[in-house]
Chains A and B, each alone.
Chain A
Protein backbone atom coordinates (compact mmCIF):
# COMPACT_ATOMS: atom_id res chain seq x y z
CA UNK A 1 0.00 0.00 0.00
CA UNK A 2 1.33 3.43 -0.87
CA UNK A 3 1.82 5.84 1.98
CA UNK A 4 -0.88 8.28 3.01
CA UNK A 5 -0.85 11.25 0.57
CA UNK A 6 -1.74 13.64 3.39
CA UNK A 7 1.31 12.40 5.29
CA UNK A 8 3.55 12.83 2.26
CA UNK A 9 2.54 16.46 1.93
CA UNK A 10 2.69 16.97 5.70
CA UNK A 11 -0.95 17.99 5.87
CA UNK A 12 -3.93 17.32 8.07
CA UNK A 13 -6.90 15.58 6.48
CA UNK A 14 -8.97 18.75 6.50
CA UNK A 15 -6.35 20.78 4.64
CA UNK A 16 -7.75 23.35 2.23
CA UNK A 17 -7.07 23.25 -1.50
CA UNK A 18 -4.70 26.24 -1.10
CA UNK A 19 -2.78 24.50 1.68
CA UNK A 20 -2.39 21.43 -0.52
CA UNK A 21 -1.06 23.51 -3.39
CA UNK A 22 1.33 25.44 -1.13
CA UNK A 23 2.65 22.28 0.52
CA UNK A 24 3.10 20.66 -2.86
CA UNK A 25 5.03 23.63 -4.30
CA UNK A 26 7.31 23.80 -1.31
CA UNK A 27 8.13 20.08 -1.39
CA UNK A 28 8.35 19.96 -5.18
CA UNK A 29 10.89 22.76 -5.15
CA UNK A 30 12.90 21.02 -2.50
CA UNK A 31 12.93 17.60 -4.13
CA UNK A 32 12.84 18.46 -7.82
CA UNK A 33 15.21 15.99 -9.54
CA UNK A 34 16.79 18.70 -11.65
CA UNK A 35 17.70 20.62 -8.53
CA UNK A 36 19.03 17.50 -6.81
CA UNK A 37 21.25 15.76 -9.34
CA UNK A 38 22.68 12.49 -8.19
CA UNK A 39 20.18 12.04 -5.38
CA UNK A 40 17.82 9.20 -6.40
CA UNK A 41 15.95 9.45 -3.11
CA UNK A 42 14.96 12.99 -4.02
CA UNK A 43 13.52 11.77 -7.28
CA UNK A 44 11.50 9.10 -5.50
CA UNK A 45 10.31 11.66 -3.01
CA UNK A 46 9.38 14.05 -5.81
CA UNK A 47 7.37 11.36 -7.52
CA UNK A 48 5.55 10.56 -4.30
CA UNK A 49 4.83 14.24 -3.71
CA UNK A 50 3.53 14.65 -7.27
CA UNK A 51 1.31 11.60 -6.97
CA UNK A 52 -0.04 12.80 -3.65
CA UNK A 53 -0.75 16.20 -5.14
CA UNK A 54 -2.42 14.68 -8.19
CA UNK A 55 -4.76 12.76 -5.94
CA UNK A 56 -5.55 15.52 -3.45
CA UNK A 57 -5.84 18.41 -5.91
CA UNK A 58 -8.67 16.67 -7.72
CA UNK A 59 -11.71 17.16 -5.47
CA UNK A 60 -13.40 14.13 -6.94
CA UNK A 61 -10.44 11.82 -6.41
CA UNK A 62 -9.76 13.31 -3.01
CA UNK A 63 -13.34 12.64 -1.95
CA UNK A 64 -13.14 9.08 -3.17
CA UNK A 65 -9.87 8.54 -1.35
CA UNK A 66 -11.31 10.03 1.84
CA UNK A 67 -14.25 7.68 1.62
CA UNK A 68 -11.91 4.74 1.08
CA UNK A 69 -13.13 4.01 -2.43
CA UNK A 70 -9.67 4.30 -3.96
CA UNK A 71 -6.28 3.81 -2.37
CA UNK A 72 -3.39 6.26 -2.36
CA UNK A 73 -2.33 5.10 -5.80
CA UNK A 74 -5.76 5.81 -7.18
CA UNK A 75 -6.55 2.10 -7.50
CA UNK A 76 -10.10 1.09 -6.90
CA UNK A 77 -10.47 -0.53 -3.53
CA UNK A 78 -12.00 -3.92 -3.81
CA UNK A 79 -15.49 -3.13 -2.53
CA UNK A 80 -16.50 -6.52 -1.24
CA UNK A 81 -15.03 -9.94 -0.75
CA UNK A 82 -11.94 -8.24 0.65
CA UNK A 83 -12.56 -9.98 3.89
CA UNK A 84 -13.46 -13.27 2.33
CA UNK A 85 -10.09 -13.46 0.60
CA UNK A 86 -8.49 -13.48 4.05
CA UNK A 87 -11.09 -15.44 5.94
CA UNK A 88 -11.05 -18.31 3.47
CA UNK A 89 -7.29 -18.55 3.66
CA UNK A 90 -5.24 -20.00 6.47
CA UNK A 91 -5.01 -16.70 8.35
CA UNK A 92 -8.78 -16.88 8.72
CA UNK A 93 -8.13 -19.05 11.76
CA UNK A 94 -7.48 -15.78 13.61
CA UNK A 95 -11.26 -15.43 13.83
CA UNK A 96 -12.19 -19.06 14.35
CA UNK A 97 -15.85 -19.58 15.28
CA UNK A 98 -15.31 -18.51 18.87
CA UNK A 99 -16.74 -21.34 20.92
CA UNK A 100 -13.97 -23.81 21.52
CA UNK A 101 -14.06 -27.39 20.30
CA UNK A 102 -15.34 -28.22 16.90
CA UNK A 103 -17.38 -25.43 15.42
CA UNK A 104 -19.71 -28.07 13.98
CA UNK A 105 -21.06 -29.04 17.40
CA UNK A 106 -22.17 -25.59 18.40
CA UNK A 107 -23.56 -24.53 15.10
CA UNK A 108 -25.71 -27.58 14.75
CA UNK A 109 -26.59 -27.77 18.43
CA UNK A 110 -27.95 -24.25 18.23
CA UNK A 111 -29.81 -25.00 15.06
CA UNK A 112 -31.39 -28.16 16.42
CA UNK A 113 -32.34 -26.51 19.68
CA UNK A 114 -33.99 -23.63 17.85
CA UNK A 115 -35.80 -26.08 15.64
CA UNK A 116 -36.98 -28.23 18.53
CA UNK A 117 -38.38 -25.20 20.29
CA UNK A 118 -40.05 -23.97 17.13
CA UNK A 119 -41.73 -27.30 16.57
CA UNK A 120 -43.41 -27.53 19.94
CA UNK A 121 -44.48 -23.90 20.09
CA UNK A 122 -47.76 -22.73 18.60
CA UNK A 123 -46.91 -21.57 15.14
CA UNK A 124 -49.11 -19.43 12.95
CA UNK A 125 -49.81 -20.73 9.48
CA UNK A 126 -48.19 -19.25 6.43
CA UNK A 127 -49.78 -16.51 4.41
CA UNK A 128 -50.74 -17.86 1.01
CA UNK A 129 -50.73 -15.69 -2.09
CA UNK A 130 -53.23 -15.96 -4.89
CA UNK A 131 -54.09 -14.00 -8.02
CA UNK A 132 -57.55 -12.93 -9.04
CA UNK A 133 -58.68 -11.30 -12.27
CA UNK A 134 -61.53 -8.86 -11.84
CA UNK A 135 -63.61 -7.45 -14.67
CA UNK A 136 -63.53 -3.71 -15.21
CA UNK A 137 -67.20 -3.36 -14.27
CA UNK A 138 -66.79 -5.42 -11.06
CA UNK A 139 -63.81 -3.28 -10.06
CA UNK A 140 -65.87 -0.16 -10.74
CA UNK A 141 -69.07 -1.12 -8.92
CA UNK A 142 -67.72 -3.66 -6.41
CA UNK A 143 -68.97 -7.20 -6.06
CA UNK A 144 -68.58 -10.42 -4.15
CA UNK A 145 -67.06 -13.20 -6.16
CA UNK A 146 -66.42 -16.83 -5.29
CA UNK A 147 -62.85 -18.05 -5.67
CA UNK A 148 -61.78 -21.66 -5.72
CA UNK A 149 -58.41 -22.36 -4.12
CA UNK A 150 -55.98 -25.02 -5.34
CA UNK A 151 -56.66 -27.07 -2.20
CA UNK A 152 -60.38 -27.28 -3.04
CA UNK A 153 -61.65 -24.71 -0.56
CA UNK A 154 -63.87 -21.98 -1.88
CA UNK A 155 -63.58 -18.42 -0.65
CA UNK A 156 -66.05 -15.63 -1.04
CA UNK A 157 -64.02 -12.57 -1.97
CA UNK A 158 -65.57 -9.15 -1.50
CA UNK A 159 -64.22 -6.75 -4.12
CA UNK A 160 -64.57 -3.15 -2.91
CA UNK A 161 -65.55 -0.60 -5.57
CA UNK A 162 -62.61 1.31 -7.00
CA UNK A 163 -60.03 -1.45 -6.60
CA UNK A 164 -57.04 -1.17 -8.94
CA UNK A 165 -54.54 -3.57 -10.42
CA UNK A 166 -51.77 -4.35 -7.94
CA UNK A 167 -53.89 -3.97 -4.83
CA UNK A 168 -53.81 -6.94 -2.48
CA UNK A 169 -56.82 -8.10 -0.50
CA UNK A 170 -56.02 -9.81 2.79
CA UNK A 171 -58.48 -12.44 3.94
CA UNK A 172 -57.76 -13.10 7.61
CA UNK A 173 -57.21 -16.68 8.67
CA UNK A 174 -57.78 -18.09 5.19
CA UNK A 175 -54.16 -19.02 4.51
CA UNK A 176 -52.15 -22.05 5.53
CA UNK A 177 -53.24 -23.85 8.74
CA UNK A 178 -51.38 -23.12 11.99
CA UNK A 179 -49.49 -25.76 13.98
CA UNK A 180 -49.77 -26.65 17.66
CA UNK A 181 -52.78 -24.42 18.11
CA UNK A 182 -51.36 -21.49 16.17
CA UNK A 183 -53.70 -19.33 14.14
CA UNK A 184 -54.08 -19.91 10.42
CA UNK A 185 -52.24 -17.55 8.08
CA UNK A 186 -53.93 -15.07 5.80
CA UNK A 187 -54.85 -15.42 2.16
CA UNK A 188 -53.33 -12.57 0.16
CA UNK A 189 -55.14 -12.00 -3.11
CA UNK A 190 -53.36 -9.94 -5.72
CA UNK A 191 -55.87 -8.18 -7.96
CA UNK A 192 -55.59 -7.63 -11.69
CA UNK A 193 -58.32 -5.45 -13.16
CA UNK A 194 -59.06 -6.31 -16.78
CA UNK A 195 -59.13 -3.63 -19.44
CA UNK A 196 -62.45 -2.57 -20.93
CA UNK A 197 -62.82 -1.78 -24.65
CA UNK A 198 -65.14 1.20 -24.05
CA UNK A 199 -64.36 2.43 -20.54
CA UNK A 200 -61.32 4.02 -18.95
CA UNK A 201 -60.64 4.75 -15.26
CA UNK A 202 -59.54 8.26 -14.26
CA UNK A 203 -59.26 7.97 -10.51
CA UNK A 204 -62.84 7.51 -9.31
CA UNK A 205 -64.27 8.79 -12.58
CA UNK A 206 -65.00 6.67 -15.63
CA UNK A 207 -64.40 8.07 -19.09
CA UNK A 208 -66.44 6.87 -22.03
CA UNK A 209 -66.88 8.02 -25.60
CA UNK A 210 -70.47 8.74 -26.66
CA UNK A 211 -71.14 8.58 -30.39
CA UNK A 212 -73.94 10.92 -31.53
CA UNK A 213 -75.43 11.43 -34.96
CA UNK A 214 -75.03 14.66 -36.87
CA UNK A 215 -78.66 15.49 -36.24
CA UNK A 216 -78.43 14.87 -32.50
CA UNK A 217 -75.29 16.97 -32.31
CA UNK A 218 -76.84 19.94 -34.08
CA UNK A 219 -80.38 19.88 -32.72
CA UNK A 220 -79.72 18.33 -29.28
CA UNK A 221 -82.51 16.51 -27.50
CA UNK A 222 -82.94 13.35 -25.44
CA UNK A 223 -80.70 10.37 -26.15
CA UNK A 224 -80.53 7.02 -24.39
CA UNK A 225 -77.06 6.05 -23.17
CA UNK A 226 -76.14 2.51 -22.13
CA UNK A 227 -73.80 2.82 -19.10
CA UNK A 228 -72.30 0.35 -16.65
CA UNK A 229 -75.07 1.30 -14.21
CA UNK A 230 -77.86 0.71 -16.75
CA UNK A 231 -79.48 2.69 -19.55
CA UNK A 232 -79.78 6.40 -18.82
CA UNK A 233 -81.70 9.11 -20.66
CA UNK A 234 -79.82 12.33 -21.01
CA UNK A 235 -80.70 15.54 -22.77
CA UNK A 236 -78.08 16.61 -25.24
CA UNK A 237 -77.61 20.40 -25.49
CA UNK A 238 -78.06 21.73 -29.03
CA UNK A 239 -74.87 22.48 -31.03
CA UNK A 240 -72.71 19.92 -29.23
CA UNK A 241 -69.41 19.48 -30.99
CA UNK A 242 -67.17 16.42 -30.97
CA UNK A 243 -65.10 16.47 -27.80
CA UNK A 244 -67.78 18.13 -25.65
CA UNK A 245 -67.85 16.54 -22.24
CA UNK A 246 -70.97 15.63 -20.32
CA UNK A 247 -70.64 14.73 -16.67
CA UNK A 248 -73.09 12.28 -15.13
CA UNK A 249 -72.69 12.76 -11.37
CA UNK A 250 -72.37 9.66 -9.25
CA UNK A 251 -72.36 7.27 -12.19
CA UNK A 252 -68.63 6.46 -12.01
CA UNK A 253 -66.88 4.25 -9.45
CA UNK A 254 -69.42 3.40 -6.75
CA UNK A 255 -69.17 5.04 -3.32
CA UNK A 256 -67.08 3.11 -0.80
CA UNK A 257 -66.51 4.05 2.82
CA UNK A 258 -65.63 7.72 3.02
CA UNK A 259 -65.07 7.93 -0.74
CA UNK A 260 -68.03 9.42 -2.60
CA UNK A 261 -69.07 7.94 -5.91
CA UNK A 262 -67.15 9.12 -8.96
CA UNK A 263 -68.67 10.56 -12.12
CA UNK A 264 -69.19 9.18 -15.59
CA UNK A 265 -67.55 11.48 -18.14
CA UNK A 266 -69.02 11.19 -21.61
CA UNK A 267 -67.00 12.64 -24.46
CA UNK A 268 -69.15 13.31 -27.51
CA UNK A 269 -68.07 12.03 -30.88
CA UNK A 270 -70.09 13.12 -33.86
CA UNK A 271 -70.66 10.29 -36.32
CA UNK A 272 -71.70 11.30 -39.83
CA UNK A 273 -73.03 7.83 -40.56
CA UNK A 274 -73.62 6.02 -43.84
CA UNK A 275 -74.08 7.88 -47.11
CA UNK A 276 -77.44 9.61 -47.33
CA UNK A 277 -78.51 11.21 -50.65
CA UNK A 278 -80.93 13.60 -48.91
CA UNK A 279 -78.20 14.90 -46.58
CA UNK A 280 -75.84 15.32 -49.51
CA UNK A 281 -78.46 17.24 -51.47
CA UNK A 282 -79.27 19.43 -48.45
CA UNK A 283 -75.63 20.32 -47.86
CA UNK A 284 -75.11 21.07 -51.57
CA UNK A 285 -77.87 23.67 -51.43
CA UNK A 286 -77.00 24.96 -47.98
CA UNK A 287 -75.08 28.20 -47.54
CA UNK A 288 -73.91 28.67 -43.96
CA UNK A 289 -75.07 32.01 -42.52
CA UNK A 290 -71.67 32.63 -41.00
CA UNK A 291 -68.59 31.35 -42.77
CA UNK A 292 -66.09 30.62 -40.07
CA UNK A 293 -62.92 28.68 -40.77
CA UNK A 294 -62.93 25.73 -38.31
CA UNK A 295 -59.15 25.45 -38.84
CA UNK A 296 -58.47 29.05 -37.83
CA UNK A 297 -56.94 27.90 -34.55
CA UNK A 298 -54.38 25.72 -36.32
CA UNK A 299 -51.76 28.39 -36.36
CA UNK A 300 -48.34 26.92 -37.10
CA UNK A 301 -45.38 29.26 -37.26
CA UNK A 302 -44.41 29.83 -40.86
Chain B
Protein backbone atom coordinates (compact mmCIF):
# COMPACT_ATOMS: atom_id res chain seq x y z
CA UNK B 1 0.00 0.00 0.00
CA UNK B 2 1.29 3.39 -0.95
CA UNK B 3 0.36 6.37 1.12
CA UNK B 4 -0.41 9.85 -0.08
CA UNK B 5 2.95 11.08 1.24
CA UNK B 6 4.87 8.55 -0.79
CA UNK B 7 2.78 9.40 -3.80
CA UNK B 8 3.65 13.08 -3.47
CA UNK B 9 7.31 12.13 -3.15
CA UNK B 10 7.08 10.05 -6.27
CA UNK B 11 5.24 12.66 -8.32
CA UNK B 12 6.40 16.11 -7.27
CA UNK B 13 4.23 17.67 -9.97
CA UNK B 14 1.11 15.95 -8.67
CA UNK B 15 -1.65 18.31 -7.55
CA UNK B 16 -3.61 16.79 -4.69
CA UNK B 17 -6.85 18.55 -5.57
CA UNK B 18 -6.46 17.10 -9.05
CA UNK B 19 -5.91 13.67 -7.56
CA UNK B 20 -9.16 13.96 -5.61
CA UNK B 21 -10.96 14.92 -8.81
CA UNK B 22 -9.62 11.89 -10.66
CA UNK B 23 -10.83 9.68 -7.84
CA UNK B 24 -14.21 11.42 -7.76
CA UNK B 25 -14.63 10.98 -11.50
CA UNK B 26 -13.79 7.30 -11.25
CA UNK B 27 -10.65 7.62 -13.33
CA UNK B 28 -8.57 6.47 -10.39
CA UNK B 29 -9.24 4.16 -7.47
CA UNK B 30 -8.00 4.62 -3.95
CA UNK B 31 -8.34 2.61 -0.77
CA UNK B 32 -9.67 4.45 2.24
CA UNK B 33 -6.92 6.44 3.85
CA UNK B 34 -6.27 7.20 1.07
CA UNK B 35 -3.73 4.65 0.02
CA UNK B 36 -2.88 3.25 -3.34
CA UNK B 37 -1.73 0.00 -4.94
CA UNK B 38 1.06 -0.33 -7.51
CA UNK B 39 -1.39 -0.29 -10.40
CA UNK B 40 -2.90 2.95 -9.10
CA UNK B 41 0.54 4.52 -9.01
CA UNK B 42 1.26 3.33 -12.55
CA UNK B 43 -2.11 4.74 -13.58
CA UNK B 44 -1.31 8.11 -12.04
CA UNK B 45 1.93 8.11 -14.03
CA UNK B 46 -0.07 7.28 -17.15
CA UNK B 47 -2.64 10.01 -16.51
CA UNK B 48 0.08 12.57 -15.90
CA UNK B 49 1.88 11.51 -19.04
CA UNK B 50 -1.28 11.74 -21.11
CA UNK B 51 -2.05 15.19 -19.70
CA UNK B 52 1.37 16.76 -19.48
CA UNK B 53 3.35 15.19 -22.27
CA UNK B 54 0.69 14.24 -24.78
CA UNK B 55 -1.35 17.38 -23.95
CA UNK B 56 -4.67 15.58 -23.70
CA UNK B 57 -7.28 17.93 -22.28
CA UNK B 58 -9.44 17.13 -19.29
CA UNK B 59 -12.48 16.41 -21.42
CA UNK B 60 -10.66 13.86 -23.56
CA UNK B 61 -8.87 12.16 -20.69
CA UNK B 62 -11.80 10.10 -19.29
CA UNK B 63 -12.73 9.02 -22.82
CA UNK B 64 -9.22 7.81 -23.52
CA UNK B 65 -8.98 6.07 -20.17
CA UNK B 66 -12.33 4.37 -20.65
CA UNK B 67 -11.24 3.09 -24.06
CA UNK B 68 -7.94 1.94 -22.61
CA UNK B 69 -9.77 0.13 -19.83
CA UNK B 70 -11.96 -1.62 -22.37
CA UNK B 71 -8.90 -2.48 -24.44
CA UNK B 72 -7.02 -3.96 -21.51
CA UNK B 73 -10.10 -5.87 -20.38
CA UNK B 74 -10.26 -7.37 -23.84
CA UNK B 75 -6.56 -8.14 -23.81
CA UNK B 76 -6.88 -9.98 -20.54
CA UNK B 77 -9.93 -11.89 -21.77
CA UNK B 78 -8.10 -12.75 -24.97
CA UNK B 79 -5.10 -13.99 -23.02
CA UNK B 80 -7.42 -16.07 -20.85
CA UNK B 81 -9.16 -17.54 -23.90
CA UNK B 82 -5.84 -18.42 -25.44
CA UNK B 83 -5.07 -20.25 -22.25
CA UNK B 84 -2.00 -18.19 -21.74
CA UNK B 85 -1.37 -17.11 -18.21
CA UNK B 86 -1.62 -13.32 -17.84
CA UNK B 87 1.78 -11.73 -18.10
CA UNK B 88 3.37 -11.08 -14.71
Contact = CB atoms under 8 A, between A and B. Distances in A.
Interface of A: 1, 4, 6-7, 13, 66-68, 71, 77, 80, 82-99, 103-104, 106-107
Contacts of B9: 4, 6-7
B73 A96 contact: yes
Contacts of A80: 49
B42 interface: yes
Contact of B10 (A68, A84, A90, A94): A68
Nearest to B6: A4
Contacts of A83: 39, 42-43, 45-46
Contact of A95 (B5, B39, B77): B39
**CB-based closest 6 A-B pairs:** A4-B9, A97-B70, A86-B39, A83-B46, A87-B72, A97-B73
Interface on chain B toward A: helix, strand, loop, or mixed SS?
helix
A77 B42 CA distance: 11
B48 to A, nearest CB: 8
Contacts of A71: 10
A87 B26 contact: no
A216 to B, nearest CB: 65
Nearest to B76: A92
B35 to A, nearest CB: 14
5 contacts: A4-B10, A13-B12, A68-B45, A92-B73, A103-B77
Contacts, number: 91
Chain B: number of interface residues, binned into ranges: 20 to 34
Contacts of B42: 82-83, 85-87
A106 B46 CA distance: 24
A162 B28 CA distance: 57
Contacts of A85: 42, 87
Contact of B87 (A67, A88, A94): A88
A106 B86 CA distance: 23
B74 interface: yes
Contacts of B69: 95-98
Contacts of B75: 87-88
B14 to A, nearest CB: 9
Contact of B72 (A7, A66, A92, A104): A92
Interface string B1-22: 0000110011111000000000
Given A95-B43, A98-B66, 16 more contacts: A4-B10, A13-B12, A68-B11, A82-B42, A82-B45, A86-B39, A87-B39, A88-B72, A88-B75, A89-B88, A91-B38, A91-B39, A94-B40, A96-B73, A103-B77, A106-B70
A91 B37 contact: yes
A71 B6 CA distance: 12
A196 to B, nearest CB: 45
B64 interface: no
B79 to A, nearest CB: 7
B86 A90 contact: yes
Given A13-B12, A86-B38, A87-B39, A107 B88 contact: no
Interface string B39-55: 11011011001000000
Contact of A67 (B13, B46, B79, B86): B13
A89 B74 CA distance: 12
B22 to A, nearest CB: 12
